[in-house]
Structures are given as C-alpha cells and as structure tokens.
Amino acid sequence: MATNDVVVETRKLTKVYRDFWGRQKKVALRALNLQINRGEIFGLLGPNGSGKTTTIKLLLGLLFPTEGDALVFGQPSAEVKKNERIGYLPEESYLYRFLNAEETLDFYGRLFKLDANVRRQRAQSLIDIVGLSADKKRVLKEYSKGMRQRIGLAQALINDPELVILDEPTSGLDPLGTRWMKDLIVELREKGKTIIMCSHRLEDVQDICDRVAILYEGELQELNSVKVLLEDVDKLELQASGVQINEDLRRDLDEVIRRHGGKIERVGHPTTSLETLFLRIVAQSKAHPGRRYLPSVDGNKPGDEARPGSASAKIEEHVKRA
C-alpha cells in the first residue's frame, strides 16, 4: 500500500502513567504497532481499562508518548496543524454547558479557517443530521446523555474532517441511537473518510468495522479484518424459508450432509438479537401509531408480530447490509 494511504501509524507506541514524583503508576500501552489506512473503519476493541482511550489520546496529542511514535498524516501527534483534518468525539463529551447547540457549533467552527457562511450552513446541516433541530436553542446543560453524544459528534464533524476519531461513540445511546450512529459512521466511510473508533461493545464493532485491533492490558492481541477474525471455516450455515421443520426434512438434510462427509449439529429456527427485535418494534409503532401492548385481554398481542416473519425481513436485511 502506498505510504500516503496510511493515515495513522504507530511505532512501538508506549505509555506509562506516572505520578507527580515520576513513580510509575500504570503501563497503559505497550509497544503498539499499527497502520490505519485511508477509507477504512478501524475498530479498537478491548475490555475496560485495556488502553483504547489512551491510544486515541496519544494519537491526538492529548498525551505524550513515553516511548515510540504516533504519526497522523505523517506528522508527529503533538503537531497542531494536523488537527485541521481531524474530528474527535471524546468518550464523555462535556462541552460548554452554557452554550446552546447552535452556539456550540459556531464556537468550534470559529477555531477553523472557515468562512462565516460556510460555518453557519455547516452548523445547521449538522444539527439536522444529528437530529437536534428541535433542541438547538436549548443550552447543553439541559441535554440528556444521548443528546450530548449527538452534539459531540456534530462538533467533531464541523470541519468536514478526513479522519474521524470516535471514543466509544455508542456508549450511552439507546439501541435506536446506536443504530443511527452506526449508519452514520458507515455513511462517513462511503464519503471516503477514515474512521477510528473504539468500543468495548463487540457487536457494534462487529457490524461496521473493516479491521479491528484487540487490546488487552495495553497489549495488542489481534489485528485483522472482522470477516477473517469471525469466520469459522470449520462450520457451515444454511438458511431457508417456506419449509417446516420435521423428521423428513431432518433425515434428508442429514443424508446430503453425510454424503459430503459432514454432520448436522443443529436444525431449528434462527433467533434474532434483542437489538433487532427492539428496532422492529419501534419501526412498527411508527408505522401504526396508537397501538400498544395489552396483555392477555384478547388474542391480539403485538408481541406475536415481533416473531420473525416477513415484516421483519426488511430490517434484518438492513442490518446485514451494515
């Protein structure tokens, strides 16, 4: 790969937290080597305290490396000029509590060399994108966690950055918000942006990341594309519709599989994830406003419709696409 397609590179990046007297408190990151390419969604994965946030802060120059280098766009991370091309959503976005959404975006816009018109237009369109149009005049201290995350994302995108760094973008969001966030991230990639995100929620990463690095105790454990990491080449999966499960079917399938030297482990209905279920319910209640769940008065249970069926297929498909 050509070097100018490498957006981020770390070489033996190490971070040791020390106290005031220079005594070692914690080795948060140990000799991390990474190369992140233009146009990919790169996931940093790992349990709490594994060094994800530390890595991101090192890339941004919020921390200085104890050893090794962190290069962004080929420049050392302490260089301020590179920030023109970067957007950053912190893990917990505490913005200025006394500003409203519009003023917040205006303020951050002023930190870039942006024309006043461009700044205003971009702020408006970002407010629309993150869905805060109705609340744009309210000050941030009245915002809920989810709304803060949204305005945090908006401020990260105010400069139309080439590289977007997101620290736990889905934390604190409801499943709907999570979905929205993931869609947005994918959309960003389609616009040619590079995204680095970190999360401890595996399913988020699984859905959208092209490549992931798995950290544990500050050390890199795995680094590869999601597909390669998750594909279980020893097993086969098959989905079919329009047939009922019965002994005949099972026998026939068994025969075919045996002929090819395999063995059936399980035949049954696929279960969906709770996330999918939730999304479907929300979609349905939007389509038919006023319906609600009335337990056991008559047979009309909305819960029935929540089972996999043709109505949910679309959503499933949508999820798969992501």
Partner 1 sequence: MVFATTFVLEQEPLQWWELPAAIKGWVQIAGAVAAFALAIFCLAYAIRRPAYASKTWSRQTRGVALLIALCGASYVLALLAVIGRGMGIGSAARNPGLLQAQPPPPEPVGTFSGLVDILLFVAGLFAILAVTLPLLVDLCTRIRFGRVLAIARLSVKEAVRSRVVWVFASMAIIFLFADWFVPYKPEDQVRNYVRVIYWSLAPLFLLTASLLGAFSIPADVKSQSIHTIVTKPVERFEIVLGRFCGYAALLTVGIGFLTAISLLYVARGVTPQAAKESFTARVPIYGDVLSFSGTGRTDKGESVGREWDYRSYISGPRVNMPQAPRQYAIWSFASLPVGFSETRLPYFEFTFDIFRLTKGQENRGVITNFSFVDGRYQQVPQFQAARDKMRDERARAQDALAKAADAKSKQGSSTAAIQTWRSEQQDALEDSLIDKFGIYEVTAEVLDYHTQVVGGDDKDKVGRKLARLLNMLQDPAQVKSRTREDGATSFLLNVMVSVDRQSAEQMLGVAKRDLYLLAAERPFWLNFIKGVMGMWFATLLMLGLAVALSTYLSGVIAWLCALFLFGMGLFSDSIRQIAEGTSYGGGVVESTVRILGKLPGGARLENSPAASVITGSDEVFRFFLRLFARIIPDVGRFDLHAYVANGYDISWMQVLFLDNFVVLLGYLLPWAVLAYYLMKYREVANPM
Q: Regarding beta strands 211-216 and 41-45, do their DSSP bridges make them parallel or antiparallel, or are they unpaired? A: parallel
Neighbours of 26 (CB within 10 A): 14
Rounded Cα–Cα distance for residues 90 and 284 (Å)? 34
Please name which of 18, 92, 88 lies closest in space to residue 57, comparing C-alpha atoms. Answer: 88
Binder among 4, 23, 48, 80 for partner 1 (CB under 8 A):
80
Q: According to the binding rule CB under 6 A, does residue 46 interact with ligand ADP?
A: yes
Per-residue contact flags (x/-) with ligand ADP for residues 2 to 21, judged by CB under 6 A? ---------------x----
Residue 86 interacts with which of ligand ADP, partner 1, Mg ion, none, CB < 5 to 8 Å by class? partner 1
Q: What is the C-alpha to C-alpha distance for residues 124 and 132, in angstroms, rounded to an integer?
A: 10
Interface residue with partner 1, options 44, 63, 198, 226 (CB under 8 A) = 63
- Residue closest to 310 by CA, chosen among 288, 284, 291: 284
Query: Is 155 among the residues that bind ligand ADP (CB under 6 A)?
Result: no
Euclidean distance between CA atoms 39 and 210, whole angstroms: 10
Determine, following the binding rule CB under 8 A, whether residue 231 of this chain makes contact with partner 1. no
Are 185 and 41 spatial neighbours (Cβ–Cβ below 8 Å)?
yes
Considering the complex, state which of residue 111 and residue 236 has its C-beta at the smaller distance from partner 1.
111
Residue closer to ligand ADP, measured from CB, 63 or 164? 63
Q: Which two structure tokens, joined as six digits, stand for 224?
A: 């590869």
- Please identify the residue of the shown chain whose CB is closest to the bound Mg ion: 53
Query: Considering only 52-60, 204-212, 230-238, 271-279, which stretch makes contact with ligand ADP by CB under 6 A?
Result: 52-60
Binding residues vs ligand ADP (CB under 6 A): 17, 25-26, 28, 46, 48-54
